[in-house]
Amino acid sequence: MPNLDDATRPLTVAGLFAGIGGVELGLQAAGMRTELLCEWWEPAQAVLKHRFPDVPLHDDIQTLQALPDVDVVTAGFPCTDLSQAGRTAGIHGKASGMVKHLLELLEDASPRWVVIENVRNMLALDRGTAMEYLVSEFERLGYTWAYRLVDSRFTGVPQRRHRVIFVASRTGDPCSVLFADEAKELPEKDYREDAFGFYWTEGNTGLGWAKDALPTLKGGSGLGIPSSPAIWVRGARPGRAIVTPRIEDAEELQGFPRGWTRAALEVTRPGVRWKLVGNAVTVGVSEWVGRRLRNPGKFDETGNLILPKGMKWPTAAWGNSDERWSVPASLWPESHDYRHLLDVVDSDEAAPLSLRATTGFHTRLLKSRLRYSEEFSQALKEHSEYMTHPVAVTH
């Protein structure tokens, strides 16, 4: 292959904590080439082997001796100890603490960019200890860093998913990647009122409620099991008003082709696919980052404020070893054509929520102090009655 001018050759990528390849698939769509994947979990490995057959796959970051000479290193390190659905043990927990191996590898590597993705809760957990550790370590290594909280809905998928995107570089300007784009959230009137997503595993202190969208797809739940959210299809016939999406719906809601995780069935049970998809990075989000890595934009510093150490972490910021600034960036860097929830999920094909799940959720909801519509409560009641004495549902 002939040598290409540096400005036109595809950027190369090493994907650590690769999961099912959401970051890499998005970067590939932005014109990049993956040179290495690293993932320890066997079901995720099965997906990567099937979807990226020509890319070397290392099985454990703890035994990875060095990073290849690539332009971009990505790391969606485990959020288990950071997320509200997890153990919240913090950045030094057994799972999330694996990020230290990334930092050790970066001691002897010089990628142009480092891209990290993680849950929103890392900004607040232990009064921001996780973020302070992360940015301090990158500052120690000589990086300028920036992060931005984004909502996956900006990519057009009907999933309200807030994630921190963190970009660092020793030679480039991460602000020109993360803050060059600014859009407005879809107006409230543009969300339809025919379907509402919620988590049936909740009901005591929250609902995960989302209008014309699903709440964040998760790798686990408060009940300790990977599970799908549910959908209230307003005005639907009996047996179709409270349903759960299929795993293929979830894959599409994360920006993957339907069936993306099917290869995992070779090594695990079907329910694990929900955890694989729930742990993934929305493909459209990483594609946006990839486009800006290849073609950084202009950063407008208007409204930036000095961010003293010890202050609450804002939803967007940048800094280096000399200074830190908060940035008034929205959760929507772009605004793509929105796909409504029932345009992705066929409610006639979705499974009705089970009687046990429905009654358990409804019971918790009635005992709680949460605000909810009486119409929703009535729909749950009628669904429970239908599931107790089902009748044939014609399509």
**Percent share of the chain, pLDDT over 70:** 90
Q: Which domains occur in the chain, in start order?
A: 12-185+281-326 (3.40.50.150)
Q: Using the Cα atoms of residue 18, residue 20, residue 23 and residue 28 in order, give the sign of their dihedral.
A: positive
Q: What is the pLDDT of residue 94?
A: 42
Q: What is the pLDDT of residue 8?
A: 74
pLDDT at 111 over 60: yes
pLDDT-based confidence at residue 331 (cuts at 50, 70, 90): very high
Q: Is 79 among the residues known to form the active site? A: yes
- Cβ–Cβ < 8 Å for 198, 234: no
List pLDDT tens digits, range 365-382. 999 999 999 999 999 999
> Which of these is catalytic: 79, 125, 135, 233?
79
Least confident of 20-29, 127-136, 158-167, 285-294: 127-136
DSSP conformational letter for 234: T
If you average pLDDT over residues 130-148, what whole number do you get? 94
* H or E segment to which residue 265 belongs: none
If you average pLDDT over residues 144-150, what whole number do you get? 98
Q: What is the pLDDT of residue 167?
A: 98
Nearest C-alpha neighbor of 94 from the set 53, 62, 134: 62
Q: What is the pLDDT of residue 7?
A: 59
pLDDT-based confidence at residue 394 (cuts at 50, 70, 90): very low
pLDDT at 79 over 60: no
**Percent share of the chain, pLDDT over 90:** 80
List pLDDT tens digits, range 32-50. 999 999 999 999 999 999 9
**Which has more pLDDT, 87 or 103?**
103
Mean pLDDT of the chain: 90
List pLDDT tens digits, range 206-259. 999 999 999 999 876 554 456 789 999 999 998 999 999 999 999 999 999 999
Nearest C-alpha neighbor of 307 from the set 145, 197, 176: 145
pLDDT at 359 over 80: yes
Q: What is the pTM of this model?
A: 0.92
Q: What is the pLDDT of residue 40?
A: 93
CA distances for 22 relative to 52, 254, 269, 328, 335, angstroms: 12, 8, 21, 27, 20
Within the chain, residue ranges assigned H as helices are 22-29, 42-51, 99-106, 129-140, 175-178, 247-253, 272-278, 283-294, 341-344, 355-367, 374-388
pLDDT-based confidence at residue 6 (cuts at 50, 70, 90): low
